[in-house]
Amino acid sequence: MPALEIHLDEVIALLTATCQAALHTGWDPDLRHRTLEIVFEGLRPRDGRE
């Protein structure tokens, strides 16, 4: 499967929506941490680059 090209505005939209949801619904610190781990893992390049 070819790599998906991700643009900065898409990353900003994803992080903004995630942060707004966390603030609006009162996520506890553990849920915030786990959710951000998932988001960041999904954004990590597939070839192992950091």
Report, as an integer, the average pLDDT of 9-35. Answer: 95
pLDDT of residue 28: 95
Q: Are 9 and 3 a contacting pair, CB within 8 Å?
A: no
- By the 8 A CB rule, do 18 and 39 touch? yes
> Residue 43: what pLDDT?
87
Amino acid at 34: R
Which residue type sits at 47? D
Q: If pLDDT is split at 50, 70 and 90, which confidence band does 2 have?
A: low
Q: What is the pTM of this model?
A: 0.71
Concatenating the DSSP letter of every residue in the chain gives -PPPP--HHHHHHHHHHHHHHHHHHT--HHHHHHHHHHHHHHHS-TTS--
Res 13 pLDDT > 90: yes
